[in-house]
Structure 1
């Protein structure tokens, strides 16, 4: 297999994304990454993050890209978790990503990084590291209207993202 085929295989299960560190682990040098980018086989979408050319877009792409752009240990946070599942209307121009580390790299406009150390409310949805839905709704209390958060709880319950007991607990925390 060629180096590009190795990269493509790795990226196929990750929304067409591959990081520099993943490529290096496959034996791809920085020079080869640069060559693949200049030949149009890869598109650089952020610091150390690339998308393969023949990727079929999905609605989850912006969320996967945002987490990859922030770096290892990053995960979708708050409003962005709600947006990923269309649980309630949110601000589409902002993407919230949390990480336990300080981020110094330049990120796309509209991306908000939240530094959270020792978070225990992280899971994976659709292959994207994310804050758990119940915790994401709680983190939006005071930032989104209570009516929207109540609707988010109902929709999360309907989609099977929350169990009835947790939905009731989160709904009571939202208040009115």
Structure 2
């Protein structure tokens, strides 16, 4: 077996857990030399998305592909934020035009129009939902306050609680905060 096939297989296995995406850093950590990625992309089966980001074309697309791409493009430590977290779970019947991603540091990368970057300070609570770095649902609901009407956010909180995305204490806190 040639190294080229082996590298392609390694990248595909990695990409299966990441909605088809792989970064140069992850590839290097898995033993695939960085110089191999552009070669594999030129031969097909691997698509260059942005600097240091590739998509394995044999991995079937999903509805979360653009979310993963937005997080990866924003850089290390980025996560889904506010309306994008609610949209991930179809809460509040939202369909935001742009994917909101939060970062802790300044990002100089030019991002496509479908990504809206928010710089946050401090250490926000984050988690992983469906393999995506995300703000907690409770915090996302509070982050949307002022942009989405409180009754809509209350309905979204009730739905999130019913789906097990909120603890009872978080739901009670949200209910008080959104009613005031």
TM-score between both structures, scaled by the size of structure 2: 0.90
Equivalent-residue separation in structure 2 for 1:41 and 1:65 (angstroms)? 17
The residue that corresponds to 1:78 in the other structure is: 82
Indicate the SS of the match to 1:112.
strand
User: 1:47·1:105 contact (CA, 8 Å) conserved in 2?
Assistant: no
Cα deviations by residue, 1:92-148 (Å, 9 ceiling, x for unpaired): 311111111211111111311111233231111111110000000000100111122
Which runs of 4 or more aligned residues in structure 1 lie more than 4 Å from their structure 2 counterparts after TM superposition?
none
User: 1:46·1:107 contact (CA, 8 Å) conserved in 2?
Assistant: no
Aligned-pair Cα RMSD in Å: 1.6
Residue 142 of structure 1 pairs with residue 146 of structure 2: yes
Equivalent-residue separation in structure 1 for 2:112 and 2:51 (angstroms)? 10
Cα deviations by residue, 1:27-63 (Å, 9 ceiling, x for unpaired): 3334311111112211122221111011122222222
Size of the alignment, in residue pairs? 176
Equivalent-residue separation in structure 2 for 1:109 and 1:129 (angstroms)? 20
Identify unmatched segments of 5+ residues in structure 2: none
